[in-house]
Chains A and B, each alone.
Chain A
Amino acid sequence: MNAELDLAARVVELTRRLAGPGAEAEVLAAHSAEALTRFANSAIHQNVADATTTVRLRLHLAGRTAGGSTTVTDAAGLQSLVERTIAASRLSPPDQAWPGLTPPTPLRSAPAFDEATAAAGPHERAERVRDFVRAAGGLETAGFCRTTYSSGGFANTAGQAVEGRAAEAAMDGIARLEGADGVARRAASRLAELDGAALGTRAAAKARAGGRPIELPPGRYEVVLEPTAVADILDNLASFGFNGKAFAQHQSFAELGAQQFDEAVTITDEPLGATLPFDLEGTPRGTLPLVGDGTTVAVSHDRTSAAEAGATSTGHAGVASRSWGPIAANLRLAPDPTGNSTPETGEGPTAASARALVGRVRRGLLITDFWYTRVLDQKSLVITGLTRNGVWLVEDGEVTAAVGNMRFTQSYPQALGPGAVLGVGAEAISLPDRWSGVRYAAPALHLQSWNLTGNASG
């Protein structure tokens, strides 16, 4: 039994003692050690780490529910947590939507855990930053290298008791040249897989290819989106489309069983290895198919949204899932294995995994990254945002000019709708988010139409 499961079990026991045998309690104790080495102007300017154990309790007592958390894990802190939560529950109105506790359920098997990544220190991160900076060959660079280790245990009064660990690493950096930026980023379960030099070379190649950008007029353009941009599509689909609470409240575009996407689109959530193997309610996590060959087949649920929708929890309970909704954090868009793969040469504006798709563009844009994307209309999931880190005009399969950043206003599901996907890359790239534990795997995408609605002039 790891330390966190022991802690969780003790809090469950304390709750039983103080609240009585009628209490339903669930406790997640999670230890998270996150270390991030950040650089800008080609120097390490911020270098941080913290190691925190947080205990979260949710209690359902006499029909009423309350939750609480603490980082003060000594006896007094835990006592205070339980007492405060009991007091809060007594003053809460009846909870009609209480879905009950997770019964004893075994975990699915998780991938191996990399000890070296969990134990990584500031020098290993700094070395990768140094490699990135050197590989950019004198261009100004910025970004970060991060390693995270988490260890957790969950217990409830219904007898569920599970534990697990996860370690992940991420690197994300830009190179800049005379106003043009290029990015390269990668997530991995093993720090050893992150090659700072390779990322620095790719970012610099983009920056070097971004010179003398032209301004293009607003309009609908054929596009190739690199995996880094596709990750934002997956993020927004997860938050607003496949969100089980939004779905239950008719705020989502998702319709189960309907062909809502192009048949080239298959999306799964794959949390194992990226995060703890169970959620905040102790539901075991696993692979969840969301879209199969264009047909929407599922949304993400916690126990509350599942009860409302007549479904089962998919293991997506989180701290705020009862109010914001249960959100999948590890979406994977399946690559097209029949497509051509090209090796990464570290030259030119196009990342290797997008090259084959770019070769088939008649006249359109190659877009590296999306930035500051926000929902304009939730039901149709119209998103507005900016391009970033490299945009190029492609004509008859060749990059012909760099293009200045543009604003877009586009419904994400419509952009991937039936008939709209002209090609999917052969390789899915694992990409990090700014929050640890969130990870995407995305191939490049060739889409029929993307609505660019503004440029630098307005």
Chain B
Amino acid sequence: MAAAADRPGRRMSVGSPRVSGMSVDHFDEAGTAVQAALDAGARYADARVMVRRTETMSARDGEVEDLSSDESAGIGVRALVGSSWGFYAVPDLSDAAARAAGRRAAEIAAASALVPGPAIDLVPTGAGTASWASQCEIDPLSVPLSVKGDLLVAATAAARDAGADLAEGIYQIWDTRKWFASSDGHRIDQHIRECGAGVTASAYGDGEIQRRSWPSHRGQYGTRGWELVDELALTDNAARMADEARALLTAPLCPSGETTLILGGEQLALQIHESVGHAIELDRILGWEAAFAGTSWLDLDQLGTLRYGSDLMNITIDPTIPGALGSFGYDDEGSPAVKRDAVRNGRWVGVLAGRDSAAMAGLDYAGSVRSDGWARLPMVRMTNVGLEPGPHTLDEIIAATDDGVLMDINRSWSIDDRRLNFQFGCEIGYEVKNGKRGRMLRNPTYTGIGPKFWQSMDMLSSETVAWGTPNCGKGQPGQIGHTGHPAAPARFTGVRVGVRG
């Protein structure tokens, strides 16, 4: 395992200011910060400059409710002094500020040495100059606000007109430009555009509220332009959401008991996120998140041999999927996007890793480290973690089920700190009897234990969608990550459903 370069006095090669495909680049500041950290005693340092524009609009009952348009720019520096890390970030992109930030990061690292840990190595991840941009047909920030506002107004008005007591719509846009430099010689710029939208119709009953969302609650997201939102056809589906929310109020309760469970793709995406994605985060497995997000039930000694799920379970870690929310060209440590296996034919074979966690675990790959902005420390995050397509279709799965429940579109989620005991609630359920979808069911919930649940997966559809989750919380200080989860409908046997309060 090659150690990070540790010759004192290394010089970063800093290019002259360059106008790249972007209007201006910030490699100078990133390089200055890295050099300042090295000069202050770091043996490795990296810096991320990010300039981000975000735009969020929410609408209620046919009227725009809130519109916010934000800009954030700054630099975040990591310094490794001995075997202790420090990080410092400021929104000031001057040379002087970059130098001070690099020095501060190294000072903070030095303070960390008061309570030292084991020696830190970094697995090599290549170096050099690179540039990447997410695909984008229609730049979301250049779509006129009136067009975007009219969309949410029309979608929520359509739901309201169809009888919803409350109709809510939202879109979110992120446009991020990043410049990354490291003392290993990385010099990477990326331009990533993300957006998405959704509409939710709620119906009020006697002491309860039912809701139906399209395409899911708070929406579907990807690393794509506004063409993603156009494809969602929010207004076309809004009235049906209102109808279903109202129908749910008088639908029979999901029965309690053990049964065969068919999950829609969107709910399965969240199931994957909570019970696989988080469990295979290497920093959790190593105990680095024990006090907050928790640990993992997975034991590194069993990597390669543990039975995680049935033979149908093939989970990949793949930041190369065009347009999926967790995609990029390089992670925030400069590792290039590479597709890897996490679970193959039900056996656990891979983890989400960073350069230092991989070295500690004796693995030779990183690639899953990101921060949610310039002000935050990069850490292991899911990229796109999802199921490969299965051999069936949803129609075949239903036709093959004599007695079960179909559930879709997530409403609630909860899981323990080892990522084992979970409980989920969906917006809508249906009885499945004798191969046919039957009565609507309300308040469908299910609960289980991760590996036991995944081992009971006996049918899986090929109709895969890369669902995007823009609200994954992790870290202290808190960070909100964007992750993607390819998933398709699937069937599970012997699952406990209908858990109530």
Residues of A within 8 A of B (CB): 34, 36-54, 65-73, 77, 80-81, 84-85, 87-88, 91-93, 95-97, 121-123, 125-127, 129-130, 133, 140, 142-144, 146, 172-174, 176, 181, 183, 249-251, 319-320, 322-323, 371-380, 382-386, 388, 405, 407, 409-411, 434-436, 451, 453-458
Tell me the bound Cα distance from A202 to B71 in angstroms: 44
Partner of A47, one of B69, B72, B91, B111: B111
Given known contacts A48-B87, A409-B501, A454-B447, A122 and B111 CB-to-CB distance under 8 angstroms: yes
Partner of A92, one of B64, B208, B421: B64
Tell me the bound Cα distance from A373 to B416 in angstroms: 10
CB pair B114–A127 under 8 Å, yes or no, is yes
Tell me the bound Cα distance from A320 to B70 in angstroms: 13
What are the nearest 7 A-B pairs in CB distance? A43-B117, A122-B111, A382-B501, A91-B145, A142-B291, A71-B91, A50-B89
Given known contacts A36-B476, A92-B64, A92-B149, A458 and B421 CB-to-CB distance under 8 angstroms: yes
CB pair B499–A454 under 8 Å, yes or no, is yes
Closest to B448 in A: A458
Stretch at the interface among B128-136, B322-330, B407-415: B407-415
The interface centre, meaning the residue of B209, B445, B449 with most chain A CB atoms within 10 A of its CB, is: B209
Given known contacts A38-B476, A458-B496, A68 and B68 CB-to-CB distance under 8 angstroms: yes
Residues of A within 8 A of B233 (CB): none
Residues of A within 8 A of B484 (CB): none
CB distance from B410 to the nearest CB of A (A): 11
CB pair B153–A93 under 8 Å, yes or no, is yes
Tell me the bound Cα distance from A380 to B107 in angstroms: 50
Given known contacts A53-B91, A71-B71, A373 and B414 CB-to-CB distance under 8 angstroms: yes
Size of the chain B interface, CB-CB below 8 angstroms: 81
- Does any Cβ of A come within 8 Å of B126's Cβ? no
Tell me the bound Cα distance from A45 to B425 in angstroms: 36
Residues of A within 8 A of B401 (CB): none
Residues of A within 8 A of B89 (CB): 48-52
Given known contacts A372-B415, A454-B499, A67 and B117 CB-to-CB distance under 8 angstroms: no
- Does any Cβ of A come within 8 Å of B335's Cβ? no
CB distance from B240 to the nearest CB of A (A): 22
Tell me the bound Cα distance from A163 to B291 in angstroms: 36
CB pair A374–B413 under 8 Å, yes or no, is yes
Residues of B within 8 A of A249 (CB): 166
Closest to B146 in A: A91
CB distance from A369 to the nearest CB of B (A): 10
Given known contacts A126-B115, A251-B209, A454-B421, A374 and B412 CB-to-CB distance under 8 angstroms: yes
Given known contacts A47-B85, A48-B87, A92-B145, A380 and B501 CB-to-CB distance under 8 angstroms: yes
Closest to A253 in B: B207
CB pair A36–B477 under 8 Å, yes or no, is yes
Binary interface encoding of chain B residues 70-88 relative to chain A, with 1 for a CB under 8 A from any of its CBs, else 0: 1111101000000011111
Binary interface encoding of chain B residues 199-224 relative to chain A, with 1 for a CB under 8 A from any of its CBs, else 0: 00010100111000000000000000
The interface centre, meaning the residue of B145, B478, B496 with most chain A CB atoms within 10 A of its CB, is: B145
- Does any Cβ of A come within 8 Å of B237's Cβ? no
Tell me the bound Cα distance from A322 to B377 in angstroms: 30
Stretch at the interface among B8-16, B182-190, B282-290: B282-290
CB pair B115–A49 under 8 Å, yes or no, is no
CB pair B108–A47 under 8 Å, yes or no, is yes
- Does any Cβ of A come within 8 Å of B231's Cβ? no
CB distance from B435 to the nearest CB of A (A): 28
CB distance from A10 to the nearest CB of B (A): 17
Partner of B416, one of A71, A372, A377, A457: A372
- Does any Cβ of A come within 8 Å of B304's Cβ? no
Residues of B within 8 A of A42 (CB): 115, 117
Given known contacts A40-B287, A47-B85, A323 and B292 CB-to-CB distance under 8 angstroms: no
Residues of B within 8 A of A49 (CB): 87-89, 104, 108
Tell me the bound Cα distance from A456 to B452 in angstroms: 12
Closest to A53 in B: B91
Residues of A within 8 A of B72 (CB): 54, 69-72
CB pair A376–B412 under 8 Å, yes or no, is yes
Given known contacts A44-B114, A376-B445, A434-B292, A71 and B478 CB-to-CB distance under 8 angstroms: no
Partner of A458, one of B63, B70, B117, B447: B447
- Does any Cβ of A come within 8 Å of B66's Cβ? yes
Closest to B205 in A: A379
- Does any Cβ of A come within 8 Å of B241's Cβ? no
CB distance from B235 to the nearest CB of A (A): 16
CB pair B63–A379 under 8 Å, yes or no, is no
CB distance from A438 to the nearest CB of B (A): 11
Given known contacts A122-B111, A435-B478, A93 and B149 CB-to-CB distance under 8 angstroms: yes
Residues of B within 8 A of A140 (CB): 287, 290
CB pair B420–A453 under 8 Å, yes or no, is no
- Does any Cβ of A come within 8 Å of B400's Cβ? no
Tell me the bound Cα distance from A369 to B357 in angstroms: 29
Partner of B500, one of A38, A378, A409: A409
Tell me the bound Cα distance from A453 to B416 in angstroms: 13
Q: Which of B100-149 contact A (CB under 8 A)?
A: 104, 107-109, 111-118, 144-146, 149
Tell me the bound Cα distance from A418 to B40 in angstroms: 62
CB pair B425–A72 under 8 Å, yes or no, is no
Tell me the bound Cα distance from A276 to B378 in angstroms: 29
Closest to A433 in B: B478
10 intermolecular pairs with C-beta atoms under 8 Å apart: A43-B118, A47-B109, A71-B91, A88-B67, A92-B64, A97-B63, A130-B115, A143-B291, A384-B499, A407-B423
